[in-house]
Amino acid sequence: MLPHKKIAVVEDDRLLRQQLSFALNKDYEVIEAGDRIEGERLLLQEKPELALVDLHMPPTGKIQEGMSLIETIRRDLPGTIIIVMSGDADMKAIQKAVDAGAYDFFKKPFDLTELKLIIGRALEKQRIQLENDRLHRELQNRYSFENMIGQSPPMLRVFDAIRRVADTPATVIIRGESGTGKELIARAIHYNSRRREKAFVSVNCAALPETLIESELFGHERGAFTGAVSARAGRFELAHGGTLFLDEIGSISLPVQAKLLRVLQERRFDRIGGTKQISADVRLITATNEDLEKKVKEEQFREDLYYRVHVFPIHVPPLRERTEDIPALLNHFLHLFCKENGIPVKNFDPDALQPLISYSWKGNVRELENLVQTLVLMSDQKTIRARDLPSYIQKEHRDSGSPDIRLDAGMTFDQAVEKFERQLLQDALQKAGGVKAKAAQGLGLDKNQMKYLSRKYDL
């Protein structure tokens, strides 16, 4: 059984306090105070969800006592809802209390049924706000840099680009193959920007028929076309003050491109069938896996729109170009799906590591994620071994001629990674004729990384 919400009654009239306590104590835990000084002490000690505050109370009996208590609550207990009680007919005083942060007010004497209704409504609003705040914090934490997986040089460059552009108004285009996590990067930009408290609205342009995308983006008025039985706000309106993410922007038709360009230039638009201009305070992030430059040459994508959206490009590497991130990604998704499905945490046997690292991953991180989810559900054992991997991964590994890494009995996952890393460096150095700079270039490492790894493995 959940504990009752706590309500504080700060009122100098003892009979009224008792009446309120009797009326509310069935549904709430009620605490009482008879003056401002006692009220401050009790509130700071008990931290109630809601406070019923009399404006005129001891020590002086003046309105300043109630206002002082409201200020204390707002400063030290910002989550506590304040409802003001007053026998004063001066509406200016009550309005002053509301302006100072009171949620609502009642003029004494008042109807207890109505008071209960207002208290219930206020606490429900508080619950929704707290839940929204919790979800928002989770989103911000999820898309923080600390929780983005990747320590390879290509991904470190992506993270650096996000840091540089996130808190600017610059338009961003994210380029990369399908499944590389372009929307994840768009969300990271949004939740690390000054627009983080506003909406992030995502649109997959390729998934919408050409006949619907204009209505989806800009909205429509009732009767604008057959089937438009009511007015509807578009994604630009929903993203007002926040971020609009247009995935696969290269699939948008030329007529819609023209309207999109006009919105970016004028920061205003009108719904389909509408005459009223609507402001568009939106930070635009786009993404594509297409060759936009080729589409511009072939006149399938407007050149002027290209330069509008191609202000700050971020190139997301395919997974095959950052294989050193694969072990961390595997462990991340393994723990995630075990937890989601209520399964005891599994692990990868070291002999499963090399086939997964050498696999081509044409579907990139999305393919890896889907594979781990399947392995979690299909494997009956705690340890996932090489023989549990799909036959096409095992075959590609055999056909690739990848160096055979003999795994010692009892070798841990991290030890297997180190053994693979050492052999990868040795092979690169052999191919480069022992020239470390050339080997580093072939592996996508910078000078300092190569120096560190060479020292680590005594190469």
Give the whole-angstrom CA distance, residue 188 versus residue 141.
10
Beta bridge partners of 81: 50
On the 0-12 / 13-18 / 19+ scale of CB atoms within 10 A, 132 is exposed
- The answer on 36 and 68 residing in a single domain is yes
Interval 86-98: pLDDT, tens: 776 567 777 888 8
Q: Which of 113, 137, 161 is the last residue of a domain?
A: 137
Q: How many CA atoms lie within 13 A of 32 on its CB side?
A: 15
Secondary structure of residue 24 in the 3-state scheme: helix
Is residue 302 located within the same domain as residue 157? Answer: yes
Q: Domain check: are 429 and 294 in the same one?
A: no
Last residue within a domain, chosen from 317, 334, 356: 317
- Where does the pLDDT of residue 229 fall: very low under 50, low under 70, confident under 90, or very high at 90 and above? low
Residues 339 and 415 in one domain: yes
Lowest mean pLDDT among 54-58, 202-206, 273-277: 273-277
Query: Do residues 215 and 234 touch, judged by C-beta distance below 8 A?
Result: yes
Per-residue model confidence (pLDDT) at position 205: 93
Comparing 116-130, 138-152, 279-293, which segment has the lowest mean pLDDT?
A: 138-152
- State how many domains the chain has: 3
Query: Length of the chain, please?
Result: 459
- Give the model's confidence band at 145: pLDDT under 50 very low, under 70 low, under 90 confident, else very high: low
Q: Which of the four pLDDT bands, split at 50, 70 and 90, describes residue 1?
A: very low
The CB density around residue 261, as the number of other CB atoms within 10 Å, is 17
Residue 281: how many other CB atoms lie within 10 Å: 12
Radius of gyration of the chain (CA): 31
Q: What is the pLDDT of residue 178?
A: 94
**How large is the greatest C-alpha to C-alpha distance in the chain, in angstroms?**
94
Domain final position from 85, 105, 137: 137
* pLDDT mean over 139-164: 77
Three-state DSSP class for residue 2: coil
Helices (H) and strands (E) in the chain, counts: 19, 14
Residue 254 has pLDDT above 90, yes or no: yes
Whether 80 and 128 share a structural domain: yes
Tell me if 385 sits within 8 A of 351, measured CB to CB: yes
My answer on whether 54 and 123 are in the same domain is yes
Kindly report the CA angle at 143 between 142 and 148, in degrees rounded to 5? Answer: 90
For 412, the 3-state DSSP assignment is: coil
Q: Supply the CATH number for residue 159's domain.
A: 3.40.50.300
CATH classification of the domain holding 28: 3.40.50.2300
231 pLDDT band, cuts 50/70/90, is confident
31, 89: one domain:
yes
Asked if residue 272 and residue 152 are part of one domain, the reply reads yes
We report the CATH number of the domain holding residue 344 as 1.10.8.60
Is-contact 176 128, C-beta < 8 A? Answer: no
CA–CA dist 331, 336 (Å, integer): 8
pLDDT tops 70 at residue 390: yes
Contact criterion met (CB below 8 Å) for 250 and 287: no
pLDDT band at 430 (very low <50, low <70, confident <90, very high): low
Q: Which of 47, 51, 31 is CA-nearest to residue 119?
A: 51
Query: What is the chain's mean pLDDT, rounded?
Result: 86
- Does 188 lie in the same domain as 73? no
Range of the domain at 432: 320-456
Question: Same domain for 105 and 54?
Answer: yes
Q: Does 209 sit behind a cis peptide bond, omega within 30 degrees of 0 on the bond before it?
A: no
- My answer on whether 377 and 402 are in the same domain is yes
pLDDT tens for residues 354-374? 889 889 999 999 999 999 999
Tens digits of per-residue pLDDT, 280-330?
A: 899 999 999 999 999 999 999 999 999 999 999 999 999 988 888 998 899
Handedness of CA 441, 445, 446, 448 (dihedral sign): negative
Give pLDDT, residue 180: 93
Residue whose structure tokens are 């007015």:
231
- Cis peptide leading into 59, omega within 30 of 0? yes
163 lies in the same domain as 273: yes
Q: In the 3-class helix/strand/coil scheme, how is 335-364 assigned residue by residue?
A: HHHHHHCCCCCCEECHHHHHHHHHCCCCCH
The answer to pTM > 0.75 is: no
Residue 279, pLDDT score:
85
